C-alpha cells in the first residue's frame, strides 16, 4: 500500500488551542457483507493491489461520505494528524469516491456517548476510549492495565507496547466480543498511545515525595497505583487541571504529555517524572467503526481498514513527537525531567503486576498479561531491527529526537503480521 502523509508533522503542529481531553474468534474478518450498499456490493481487492486495480474494483460503486471523530480538538491541534492523515489515506486510496468528513472536538458525541453514536449511525468512524468504561470492557481494561508491566523508554518501548497492545487485543476473543455486543467493528482494537508521566509543581521522584500529594488521575487503575505509592488520587476533568495546578489544589497531573503540551501545563507544573521500568496503567483507546461501515461494499470497507497502518504510525509520531516538545517546555519553565527513584520504581513494578493479574482474573482473561508480555518482547526486537532505538535518555529527548521521525515501516509490519488476517473479505 502506498503510504500517505500530510505536510503537518507532530512537532510542527503545536498551536495555541483550547485544552484537550485525551487523550469470537480472532482469525475472522471484520465488517459486514456489504449487502446494504447502493447498487452493488462490488468485488474486493488485494491489500497490495495497484491503484488501477482498486479504481476498477470501486468503479461501479456510488460515492459515499463518512463522518470521522478523531482524538483531536481542532485541525490546528498537535493531534490533528490523527485525523488529517487518515482522511487523506482513505480519500486518495478510494480515488475520491469516499469523502471523509472530520468532526473535531467530539462535537457529535463525547467519549461517554460515542459508542451509541457509532451504533446508531450518527458517527461512522471514531477514536473511542473503552478504558473509560471498564465494567463494559473488562477484557480490554485488563490488557490496558497490563501495559503498566511493560518496559518504559522515550521511544522504543512506547512503539513496542502499542504494537503489542494491538496484537494482544486482536488475539483475545473476549475483547472483540465486547465490541460486538455494542454493534461496533474494531479496526484497531487497542491504541494505547503514549506512556504516562507525572507533571508536578515541584519534583516528585522519591517515595517520600509521593506521600500525601494530590495527584490528578484519569483511570481507576492509575488511581490504585497512586494510592499504593502514598498519594491521593483526584478525579478531575482535564480542562480543570491547569487551574487546579496553578492554585495548588492538586500537586501533579498523571497522564500523557501530548495534551499537556497544548494546554500549557508546563507553565504551572514543569517538573516531569518518568518511569524507567514498569509504569502506570494507561487509558487506552481504539479506532472503531459503526453501523454505516458494516453496510458499505466490501471494497469500501477494505479501503478504510487498510488506512489503519497509517492511523497507527501517525498516532505514534504525534505522541512521541509531543514528548520532545514537553521536555523542551519543561526546561523553558525552569523545570526538570527525572526518572523516578529506585524505591518508587520497585514499588510501582510490584504493584503493577499484582494489579494486572488481579484485573485479568476478574475479567476472566487470565492469560492476557502473559500474551501481552510475549508480544511486547517480540515487537521490541522488531522495533530495534527497524532502527527505532532510543538515542539518549528522556531528559535530553528534545535534543536527539528527529522532527521528521516516521514510523511508517512499523505500521506496515504491524498490518502485515497482525491486522491483515482481519481485513474484510
pLDDT digits (tens, 9 = 90+) for 286-310: 999 999 999 999 999 999 999 999 9
Provide the H-helix boundaries in 229-307. Answer: 238-247, 257-263, 291-295, 298-306
- Least confident span in 34-48, 55-69, 172-186, 278-292: 34-48
CB atoms near residue 390 (< 10 Å): 17
Tell me the C-alpha distance between 100 and 86, whole Å: 9
DSSP per position, 376-411: HHHHHHHHHHTT----S-GGGHHHHS-TT---HHHH
Q: Is 162 buried (19+), middle (13-18) or exposed (0-12) by CB count in 10 A?
A: buried
Q: Minimum mean pLDDT among 10-14, 79-83, 183-187, 211-215: which range?
A: 10-14
Q: What is the pLDDT of residue 42?
A: 55
Q: What are phi and psi of 372, to 5 degrees?
A: -65, -45
Task: Give per-residue burial for 185-196: e unless 16+ CB within 10 Å, then b.
Answer: bbbbbbbbbbbb
CATH architecture, domain defined by 10-198+277-408: 3-Layer(aba) Sandwich (3.40)
H or E element in which residue 228 lies: helix 220-228
Q: Per residue in 368-414, pLDDT tens?
A: 999 999 999 999 999 999 999 999 999 999 999 998 999 999 999 99
CB contact at 8 A, 177 and 186: no
Taking all residues of the chain, what is their mean pLDDT, rounded to a whole number? 88
27, three cell numbers: 482469525
What's the average model confidence in pLDDT over 45-63? 95
Q: Is the pLDDT of residue 152 over 60?
A: yes
pLDDT above 70: residue 225: yes
Nearest CA to 372 out of 189, 103, 110, 212 is that of: 189
CA atoms within 13 A on the CB side of 143: 33
Angle of CA points 401, 402, 408, to nearest 5°: 110
What does the DSSP 8-state code read for residue 419?
Answer: I
pLDDT beyond 60 at 282: yes
Contact assessment for residue 275 and residue 348, using Cβ atoms and an 8 Å cutoff: yes
Closest CA to 94 of 42, 31, 170, 155: 42
- Residue in the block written with cell 512506547: 158
Q: How confident is the model at residue 262 (pLDDT cuts 50, 70, 90)?
A: confident
Distance CA 140, CA 270 (A): 33
Distance in angstroms (rounded) separating the CA atoms of residues 304 and 221:
33
> How far does Cα 220 stand from its chain's mean position?
18
368 in helix, strand or coil?
Answer: helix
101-104: long-range contacts (C-beta < 8 A, 24 or more apart)?
101/65, 101/66, 101/67, 101/68, 102/68, 102/69, 102/70, 102/75, 103/67, 103/68, 103/69, 104/70, 104/72, 104/73, 104/74, 104/75, 104/77
* CA-based nearest residue to 399, from 409, 390, 410: 390
* More confident site: 260 or 24: 260
Give, as one character, the DSSP assignment of residue 97: S
User: Roughly how many angstroms between the first and final C-alpha of the chain, as a whole number?
Assistant: 17
Are the C-beta atoms of residues 309 and 379 closer than 8 Å to each other? no
- The DSSP output letter for 416 is I
Amino acid at each position: 500500500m502506498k503510504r500517505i502523509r500530510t505536510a503537518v508533522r507532530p512537532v510542527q503542529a503545536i498551536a495555541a488551542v483550547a485544552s484537550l481531553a485525551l487523550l469470537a474468534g480472532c482469525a475472522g474478518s471484520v465488517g459486514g457483507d456489504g449487502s446494504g450498499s447502493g447498487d452493488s456490493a462490488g468485488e474486493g481487492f488485494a491489500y497490495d493491489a495497484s491503484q488501477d486495480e482498486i479504481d476498477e474494483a470501486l468503479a461501479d460503486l456510488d460515492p459515499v461520505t463518512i463522518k470521522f471523530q478523531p482524538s483531536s480538538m481542532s485541525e490546528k491541534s498537535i493531534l490533528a494528524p490523527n485525523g488529517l492523515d487518515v482522511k487523506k489515506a482513505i480519500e486518495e486510496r478510494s480515488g475520491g469516491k469516499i469523502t471523509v468528513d472530520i468532526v473535531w472536538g467530539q462535537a457529535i458525541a463525547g467519549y461517554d456517548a460515542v459508542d451509541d453514536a457509532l451504533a446508531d449511525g450518527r458517527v461512522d468512524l471514531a477514536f473511542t476510549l473503552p478504558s473509560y468504561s471498564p465494567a463494559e470492557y473488562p477484557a480490554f481494561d485488563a490488557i490496558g492495565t497490563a501495559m503498566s508491566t511493560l518496559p518504559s523508554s522515550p521511544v522504543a518501548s512506547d512503539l513496542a507496547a502499542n504494537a503489542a497492545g494491538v496484537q494482544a487485543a486482536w488475539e483475545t476473543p473476549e475483547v472483540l466480543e465486547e465490541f460486538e455486543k455494542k454493534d461496533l467493528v474494531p479496526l484497531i482494537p487497542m491504541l494505547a498511545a503514549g506512556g504516562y508521566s507525572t507533571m508536578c509543581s515541584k519534583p516528585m521522584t522519591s517515595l517520600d515525595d509521593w506521600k500525601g500529594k494530590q495527584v490528578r488521575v484519569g483511570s481507576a487503575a492509575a488511581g490504585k497505583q497512586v494510592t499504593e505509592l502514598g498519594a491521593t488520587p483526584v478525579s478531575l476533568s482535564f480542562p480543570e487541571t491547569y487551574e487546579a495546578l496553578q492554585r495548588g489544589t492538586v500537586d501533579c497531573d498523571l497522564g500523557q504529555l501530548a495534551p499537556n503540551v497544548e494546554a500549557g501545563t508546563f507553565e504551572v507544573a514543569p517538573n516531569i517524572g518518568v518511569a524507567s521500568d514498569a509504569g502506570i496503567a494507561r487509558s487506552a483507546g481504539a479506532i472503531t467503526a459503526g453501523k454505516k461501515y458494516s453496510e458499505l461494499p466490501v471494497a469500501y470497507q477494505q479501503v478504510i481498514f487498510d488506512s489503519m497502518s497509517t492511523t497507527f504510525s501517525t498516532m505514534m509520531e504525534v505522541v512521541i513527537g509531543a514528548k520532545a516538545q514537553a521536555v523542551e517546555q519543561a526546561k523553558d519553565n525552569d523545570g526538570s525531567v527525572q526518572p523516578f527513584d529506585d524505591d518508587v520504581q520497585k514499588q510501582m513494578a510490584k504493584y503493577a503486576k499484582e494489579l494486572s493479574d488481579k484485573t485479568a482474573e476478574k475479567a476472566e482473561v487470565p492469560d492476557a498479561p502473559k500474551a501481552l508480555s510475549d508480544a511486547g518482547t517480540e515487537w521490541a526486537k522488531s522495533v530495534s531491527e527497524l532502527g527505532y532505538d532510543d538515542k539518549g535518555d528522556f531528559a535530553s529527548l528534545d535534543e536527539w529526537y528527529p522532527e521528521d521521525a516516521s514510523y511508517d515501516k512499523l505500521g506496515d509490519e504491524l498490518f502485515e503480521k497482525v491486522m491483515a488476517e482481519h481485513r474484510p473479505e
